[in-house]
């Protein structure tokens, strides 16, 4: 990872554009004709009451769900159906609402899995690499040290040095969330999707996590889309907010615009 020269410059260049996305599961319409965009370098929040389709939206963006209708343009290219490992290769990383770490592995190994997508492609190359790693000589050994250095920088950034070799299954929830963020950072994504990064955290942990998100965006220029229920966090962190309710977009704009929007207030507080 290398720090961006001139941080916090939202150029106005669109990184991801979703247009008229509709997704349904049988008769259940999870998302109905939602359009919005994410600009390069911004922190974009997606909010809405439970069941509004926020997580489904993230799943659509990283290729886990395939919408029945609509168009997704990422880095100027309209993409077709794809599997999520292809999205990962193109620079989209994400974390999950309920932590999805590899429980049997150490923190270090979990972060190292984030580096796997930097491996060479192709059956022949993969076989050669596998054999080289089996004898653990020359390029394979050097490669491991290089990857380790990258991962150690992330460990340093997230202040998780002490749990480097602890199996993640034994870590408390707040730290697991942090390790999961680390794994996503290890992928060096251009677009990072965070699904409720602060869920279930106490005030101090929320503060830490907010700091990591801001620093990540600030120092490395990573574009971030996050789903969050803590309105304080959303209002403080994000540049723009999109609000979903029952699968439809009801508002889109800066935090101030959105919080003043009557539809949003109705969706959250109910209408008398």
Partner 1 sequence: MLYRETGQFKTSYSADQAIFPIFQDRMFILGWLIVAFIAVPLMASEYWFQIILIPFLVFSLATLGLNILVGYCGQISLGTGGFMAVGAFSAYKLATNVPELNIIFVILISGLITALVGILFGLPSLRIKGFYLAVATLAAQFFLIWMFNKFGWFVNYSPSGSIAIPPMEIFGVMVTSAKADPVARYYLALGFTVVLALLAKNLVRGPTGRAWMAIRDMDIAAEIIGIKPLATKLKAFAVSSFFIGVAGALYFSAWSGTAESDAFDINLSFNILFMVIIGGLGSVVGSFMGAAFIVLLPIFLTNLFVGELGFSALTAKHLEITIFGALIIFFLAVEPHGLARMWQVTKEKLRIWPFPH
Binding test (CB under 8 A) with partner 1, winner from 45, 61, 184, 267? 184
Q: Which is nearer to partner 1, 96 or 220 (CB)?
A: 96
Give min distance, CB of 240 to partner 1, in A: 25
Q: Which of 45, 46, 101, 192 binds partner 1 (CB under 8 A)?
A: 101
Stretch that binds partner 1, among 67-75, 136-144, 194-202, 227-235 (CB under 8 A): 136-144
What residues from 187 to 246 belong to the interface with partner 1 (CB under 8 A)?
A: 187
| The token pair that represents 272 in the structure block | 């008398």
* Packing angle of the helix pair 173-186, 203-220 (nearest 10 deg): 10
Give the torsion through C-alpha atoms of 28, 34, 38, 44, to 10 deg. -60
Segment contacting partner 1 (CB under 8 A): 48-56, 179-187, 206-214, 224-232?
179-187
What gap in Å lies between CA 42 and CA 31, rounded to an integer?
A: 23
Q: Provide, rounded to whole angstroms, the least separation between the CB of residue 179 and partner 1.
A: 12
Contact call for residue 83 and partner 1 (CB under 8 A): yes
Q: Give the list of residues 6+ apart from residue 229 with CB closer than 8 angstroms, or none.
A: 47, 196, 199
Task: For residue 108, give both structure tokens.
Answer: 């270090």
Smallest gap from residue 263 Cβ to partner 1 (A): 32
- DSSP labels for 102-136? -TTSBHHHHHHHTTGGGSPPSHHHHHHHHHHHHHT
218's tokens: 């600030």
- For partner 1, which residue of 17, 35, 37, 84 counts as binding (CB under 8 A)? 84
- Closer residue to partner 1 in complex, CB, 52/108: 108
Binding segment for partner 1 among 14-22, 146-154, 155-163, 264-272 (CB under 8 A)? 146-154
* Of the candidate residues 46, 112, 226, 258, the single one contacting partner 1 (CB under 8 A): 112
Residue from 119, 125, 256, 262 touching partner 1 (CB under 8 A): that is 119
* DSSP assignment of 205-254: HHHHHHHHHHHHHHHH--EEEEE-S-HHHHHHH-SEEEEEETTEEEEEE-
CA distance linking residue 167 with residue 186, whole number of Å = 18
Interface with partner 1 by CB under 8 A: which residues? 62, 64, 83-85, 87-89, 93-94, 96, 100-105, 109, 112-117, 119, 126, 129-130, 133-136, 140-141, 144-145, 147-149, 152, 183-184, 187
């Amino acid at each position: 990872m290398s720090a961006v020269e001139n941080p916090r410059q939202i150029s106005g260049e669109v990184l991801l554009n979703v247009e008229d996305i509709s997704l349904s599961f049988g008769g259940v319409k999870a998302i109905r004709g939602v359009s919005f965009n994410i600009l390069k370098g911004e922190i974009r929040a997606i909010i809405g009451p439970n069941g509004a389709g926020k997580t489904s939206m993230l799943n659509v963006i990283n290729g886990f769900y395939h919408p029945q209708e609509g168009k997704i343009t990422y880095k100027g290219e309209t993409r077709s159906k794809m599997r999520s490992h292809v999205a990962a290769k193109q620079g989209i990383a994400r974390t999950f609402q309920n932590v999805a770490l590899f429980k049997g592995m150490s923190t270090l190994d979990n972060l190292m899995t984030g580096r796997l997508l930097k491996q060479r492609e192709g059956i022949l190359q993969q076989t050669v690499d596998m054999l080289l790693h089996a004898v653990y000589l020359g390029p394979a050994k050097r490669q491991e040290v290089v990857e380790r250095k990258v991962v150690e920088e992330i460990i340093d950034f997230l202040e998780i040095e002490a749990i480097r070799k602890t199996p993640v299954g034994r870590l408390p929830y707040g730290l697991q969330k942090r390790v999961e963020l680390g794994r996503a950072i290890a992928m060096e994504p251009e677009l990072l999707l965070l699904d409720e990064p602060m869920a279930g955290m106490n005030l101090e942990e929320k503060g830490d996590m907010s700091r990591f998100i801001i620093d990540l965006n600030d120092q490395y220029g990573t574009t971030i889309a996050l789903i969050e229920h803590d309105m304080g966090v959303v209002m403080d962190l994000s540049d723009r907010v999109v609000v979903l309710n029952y699968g439809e977009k009801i508002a889109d704009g800066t935090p101030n615009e959105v919080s003043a929007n009557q539809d949003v207030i109705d969706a959250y507080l109910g209408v008398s």
